[in-house]
Amino acid sequence: MKKSAIVFLCFLIVLLPSQVFAQQKVPILIYHSIDEFKGVGSKELYVTPENFEKQMIYLRDHGFTLLTFEQWEDRNKIKKPIFITFDDGYKNNLNAFAIFQKLKSEKFQPTGTVFVLSDFIGRSNRLSSSDLKMMVGSGMISIQSHTATHPDLTKITNFEIELKKSKEKIQQITGEQVIALAYPYGNTNRKVVEETKKYYRFGLTTTPELFSEKGLKDELYFLPRIYITYSTTLEEFAEIVEGK
């Protein structure tokens, strides 16, 4: 009896950590503009640099590890993984990059993923090719695709331009692989997923929940993301990332 109890205890010690990590809920956050709101566009799609910095400090001080999609498999090896994403490739994302640089230390390595529209690169309010190269060269930012022109993918037929050509253009600029696609408006369906699988390993929606591995078919092409907005308080941010 004692021997079987010892064997069972050893089984728990070996198995439980991997079970806990495998079932953990992983926050994937979505931002757009990191800037002061100046009256143009949707206010809720802005987060002030001050609030963004407070949010990143919270993650640092509460033991989170920021990952990019190149590090997807690492999520099961750490206790508090989180993914920070930015959609549309606005020039003001450089404010987030500056905050990452400011907060970087030996113990805290901030990283994020910027999903750019390949045909919008270099516009007056968007990141330029040199911006993208600089951000990627820092090791802090991964540049991925948000399509070429931001169509609703459930309503188009020219997938090669929006998915394949955008991927190729971004890769040509950054010199790095593009493996993730953020669906414009978060919209997808079975046809969109099948087209996305031809070129990408991940597809991101705007379904507002934490990711947990359920073993569903193509679940990496239905990754959920939670909006962080202008009105999100630090207390609400903490509840989101802690899964409360």
Confidence of residue 143 (pLDDT cuts 50, 70, 90): very high
Residue 48 lies in a domain: yes
Residue 9 lies in a domain: no
Judged against a pLDDT cut of 70, whether residue 122 lies above it is answered with yes
Residue 7 lies in a domain: no
What is the span of the domain harbouring residue 76? 26-241
Residue 164 lies in a domain: yes
Residue 147 lies in a domain: yes
Residue 184 lies in a domain: yes
- Give the C-alpha separation, 79 to 21, whole Å: 7
Residue 23, pLDDT score: 65
Cβ proximity of 28 and 71 under 8 Å: no
- Give the C-alpha separation, 135 to 120, whole Å: 17
Residue 5 lies in a domain: no
CB neighbours of 221 closer than 8 A, spacing ≥ 6? 188, 193, 196, 197, 200, 202, 203
Report the CATH number that the domain containing residue 74 is assigned in CATH: 3.20.20.370
- DSSP string for residues in 186-230: G---HHHHHHHTTT-SEEE----S-B-----TTGGGSB--EE--T
Confidence of residue 24 (pLDDT cuts 50, 70, 90): confident
Count of domains observed in the chain? 1
Residue 11 lies in a domain: no
